[in-house]
A and B are shown apart, each in its own frame.
Chain A
Amino acid sequence: QLQLQESGPGLVKPSETLSLTCTVSGDSISSSTYYWGWIRQPPGKGLEWIGSIYYSGSTYYNPSLKSRVTISMDTSKNRFSLKLNSVTAADTAVYHCVLWFGYLLSTPFSWGQGTLVTVSS
């Protein structure tokens, strides 16, 4: 069974870079079956898609975050990562890593439990 687990610092200073990793178990992230990505939820606010990546390296980013986001894959460690630079308090959120099936991009299919990242000095 595919499982996703987020990891990374829980506290980031304003203007710095938020870095998170999602380790995947149960299948290879190099499989053409899946897309991988990130969705976040600020406290008391709604869910927001951040971006996604395919095994080929193709990336897709939310236009509102595109200038600050990079998603990459490390196939040797079966994990993928999120970098969000120039963070502000508005980037404080629970960040979930997410899987999509290639034939069902309409549906974020499987989620990690999420990790809270707080932006504060």
Chain B
Amino acid sequence: QSALTQPRSVSGSPGQSVTISCTGTNSDFGGYDYVSWYQHHPGQAPKLLTYDVNKRPSGVQDRFSGSKSGNTASLTISGLKAEDEADYYCCSYTGSYTFNYVFGTGTKVTVL
């Protein structure tokens, strides 16, 4: 099982929107909408931003939104802030067995 493909880096100016793609195969997504996104500042705990494609945990700003079309999931960060500069990972639950996940290759977001 290969990793989900993400762009290595994306960048934007404060206030702009950026979108990170996450592409896989039919088996990677398993026909489910179980895609989650994580923000990871190095040295800190990864933080869950969205799950089940477009749900947000309590406390996550609505500037972060998830979507999915076919075998590509996306995370959009609106109103980009300096604090958003971090690594972002997608994750898909494949459903082939309990706890079977495939993770994305990771994207570095740079705020210009």
Q: Which residues of A contact B (CB under 8 A)?
A: 4, 37, 46-49, 51-52, 60, 62-63, 96, 104-114
Contacts and interface: CB of A to CB of B under 8 A. Distances in A.
Nearest to A110: B48
Contacts of B69: none
Could you tell me the dominant secondary structure of chain A's interface residues?
Answer: loop
B86 to A, nearest CB: 13
B76 interface: no
B44 to A, nearest CB: 6
B89 A47 contact: yes
Nearest to B101: A49
B103 interface: yes
Interface residues of B, number: 26
Contacts of A105: 93, 98-99
Nearest to B4: A46
Contacts of B97: 63
B43 interface: yes
Given A106-B32, A107-B36, A108-B101, A46 B48 contact: no
Interface string B68-112: 000000000000000000000101010001111101111000000
B18 interface: no
Given A46-B105, A47-B89, A106-B32, A113 B99 contact: no
